[in-house]
Amino acid sequence: MPWEGQFMAIISSTIKSYVAGFLDGDGCIMFQLIRRKDYIYGYQVRASIVFYQKTKNRQHLEWLKSVFGVGYIRDRNDEMTEYTVVGLKPVIKILKLLRPYIKLKKEHVAYSMKIDKRLAGKFSLKKLIAAAKLVDKFKELNYSKKRTNTSVQLIEYLRQHKLYPRND
């Protein structure tokens, strides 16, 4: 990616601190298990960061997108606008950049780093399951009531498709 090595060197500590506060207050760090029929193990780990603002303040999100150079902006129907960055690599890079300044979402960042560490290197089923168990923690961290894809569902899917041994 063209932005990978560029943005970290040019962002001042003042801007990093501001953006970290923005993320703490009007942002969300999410890790989810997403059902994917085209994946051999049926699921993927999706990482995302979302910043929220009233649509009348959209320019703040446009500025933030220009700082990171990744992601997309979407106007919702409820007069809110979202700036979203999706993907493990860009999310982890942004979190590493902001980590020293994060206050309220320190636990989110810590679990994000653990998930990244579990998925590093050559992909394997063992790594996917270990990461999925950490992803489950985001349900509690984000007060998610609707999350249905969990490590339990992943393991059940794997057993149904004879990709994971039963402990019967």
List active site positions. 25-26
Which single residue is written with the structure tokens 């446009």?
62
Is 28 strand, coil or helix?
A: strand
Residue type, 98: L
Which single residue is written with the structure tokens 């992601």?
71
Contacts of 124 (CB under 8 A, 6+ apart): none
Q: How far apart are CA 76 and CA 72, in angstroms?
A: 13
Contacts of 67 (CB under 8 A, 6+ apart): 7, 11, 15, 19
Residue type, 64: L
Distance in Å from the first CA to the final CA of the chain:
46
At 99, phi and psi to the nearest 5?
-50, -45
